Amino acid sequence: MRTEIAIIGAGPAGLLLGQLLHTYGIDNVILERQTADHVLGRIRAGLLEEGTVALLDEAGVGQRARHEGLVHRGIELAFDGARHRIDIHGATGKTVTIYGQTEVTLDLMNARKAAGLATIYQAADVRPRDFDTDHPRVSWVSDGAGHEIDCDFIAGCDGFHGVSRASVNPQAIRTYERVYPFGWLGILSETPPVSHELIYSNHARGFALCTMRSTHRSRYYVQCPSDDHIDQWPDDRFWDELKRRLDQKAVDELVTGPSIEKSIAPLRSFVAEPMRFGRMFLAGDAAHIVPPTGAKGLNLAASDVHYLSGALREYYGEKSSAGIDNYSAIALARVWKAVRFSWWMTSILHKFPEQGEFGARIQLAELNYLVSSKAASAALAENYVGLPF
């Protein structure tokens, strides 16, 4: 077998890259170790920047997001028992769209299937090989038999625990990491959202977030110890704790119900440098992780794909290697800005074990400054809606 681009990972990063390359006339094959149903079963992000929606349009899969997505023009910060709205559209002229990552993945899967493009699911023991030469290849096992595909380039879109980054010589890569001492306990429920915009709550008991996936499906989170288990959190306990961390108006309007999904996500900031190793490129969670506070994970993956797909289009269309040579530096410049913003949002909204009363008062001072200063609100809004590609 042979293809131009072998993509490892059929999550949104790999699927979006494959679809964009297809529109550019660049042949590609995707290898995924899980089943399609498993990939679709992952409950992940639900907030898209305008740049991400524009990329979906470019890939020909943005129609449903445009039609069903909820466009938000602001967010609310809750602290000291009150809520304060940040007008992100007024400050930037931009909006964000609530549309679940599962739906993005489904749209991309359907488009890839309709185009007759090759996706190999349940590919075991995937290995990128010889990517430091002019003849890279990827091997895998399916149905007990070994297979191999030759390619021009490999795109590692297989997530934080994937094989792509793990295949790099440790001496050729440098990583930066901050592991946070708490996690997010999240539930999904068939209930109307408590507010038509997101509520980010700083509370003495810990952070809380009220968000949604649609007008009838809500997603709620509370900060919890990183070693908690979901068995410790029956629905009634979750709803009671959430109410303790919200303002009275939100408590009065909150509609509770049985959870249809419940999970605890650890929080970390992680960056790997560089993002290119010979003829293999990393994109998305394979190269970086951000805490979900700033809603940057999926959007950062999309910006990587924007840079990488453009670089490969230039390589094949214009016979220029400038784009692929600059991919890592350009992508990382935007990555680090998003990592900073996500770290900052996390630092002002969560309760840290070591912060004490002084730290708590500094958080409140920061939040009060944010909601009272046009310049501070504009800086938050500019980062929240997404910096330009």
Catalytic residues: 72, 200, 292, 296, 384
Residue 294 exposure: Cα atoms within 13 Å on the Cβ side: 30
Query: Coil, strand, or helix at residue 56?
Result: helix
Residue 177 exposure: Cα atoms within 13 Å on the Cβ side: 9
Q: Rounded CA gap, 192 and 62, in Å? A: 25
Q: Rounded CA gap, 269 and 174, in Å? A: 14
Return the C-alpha torsion angle 4, 6, 10, 11, nearest 10: -90
Q: Rounded CA gap, 183 and 124, in Å? A: 30
Q: Please, is 322 exposed, middle or buried when counting C-beta atoms within 10 Å of its C-beta (0-12, 13-18, 19+)? A: exposed
Q: Beta partners for 174?
A: 273
Return the C-alpha torsion angle 199, 201, 206, 211, nearest 10: 0
Q: How many residues in total does the chain contain?
A: 389
Question: Tokens 């290995």 map to which residue?
Answer: 127
Closest CA to 129 of 167, 94, 74: 167
Cβ neighbours for 318, distance < 8 A, ≥ 6 positions apart = none
DSSP state string for 182-214: EEEEEEEESS--SSSS-EEE--TT--EEEEESS
* DSSP label at residue 245: T
Q: Cis omega (within 30 of 0) on the bond before 274?
A: yes
**E strand or H helix at 359, and its extent?**
helix 356-372
**E strand or H helix at 360, and its extent?**
helix 356-372
DSSP state string for 273-286: E-SEETTEEE-GGG
